[in-house]
A = this chain, B = another copy of it.
């Protein structure tokens, strides 16, 4: 899915030094010109192929560390130091990628020279939203974008892999599920769910109440988990997945929480807990990735309670083909039952 915007870095990460990043296996370099606008070039000098990221920013241009060639944000070669004559020739251009800075992230459009019609994804709740504690966190793990997205939105594994934190294996009850798929996204609503047992549930919904729970995936790579418990408590975790390469994924998460507890009280618990959960997920994702590489194909025996994974795969494959099918304003709906 190259015709899409991906998060390349946090805005605060890009200062005076060029910043190398890798998206979809492509080495890129970010830098800022004299006005502070971010640029993104292929991280490879057209002259002798060394990474431009070992160079410096000089007069708002990126200067290669080997022979001193300079490039502007558009990839134009503006200066070849030893050369008598014109520097700016087509063959000396560096591939330049569209860049937008938005909501504290630097987004790169993964087709060089493109003029994208739409902007990047907008996170629904960010810092400053009244009543919310908002925390950002970027993590990286082995795993294809699909493996990571499926894992993030999968309910059944929580009782085993994260046993005791969310759900427990004993005392299961049956709930209803409703999966809704549009041309570019899919969501699942879990109906009749009790307040999650375990530590997480108690922490995030002290007052209890009716649980409304949705898990969502939007193309190209947004995963979202939303809990409303009673009228007071609202947890919205939205994470954007950037594929580093076919088997390594970054998740840029924005976590928004509104509970009876003040933010300063919750904050110290959220981070360590989230990282502990992520650590467990990262272990199985690494093993799943190794299996995919070892066995060549990733045969998967899905069941009716693999609610979102197969749909996410379908959406991704359509996006890769460049054809999402007709726009759906009303979703296809599939109801089912699950033990949680």
Contact = CB atoms under 8 A, between A and B. Distances in A.
A299 B156 CA distance: 50
Interface in A172-187: 172, 174
A83 B301 contact: no
A294 B169 CA distance: 47
A155 B46 CA distance: 18
A66 B160 contact: yes
Given A65-B284, A169-B68, A48 B300 contact: yes
A283 to B, nearest CB: 8
Interface stretch (A127-135, A236-244, A285-293, A320-328): A285-293
A264 interface: no
A81 B173 CA distance: 11
Interface residues of A, number: 54
A155 B81 CA distance: 11
Nearest to A87: B303
B51 A92 contact: no
A27 interface: yes
Given A92-B301, A155-B82, A291 B66 contact: no
A113 B159 CA distance: 32
A288 B160 contact: no
Interface in A267-306: 283-284, 287-288, 291-292, 294-295, 298-305
Closest 5 pairs (CB-CB, A-B): A82-B156, A49-B291, A68-B160, A82-B305, A46-B301
Interface of A: 27, 44, 46-51, 54, 63-68, 80-85, 91-92, 154-157, 159-161, 169, 172, 174, 283-284, 287-288, 291-292, 294-295, 298-305, 336-340
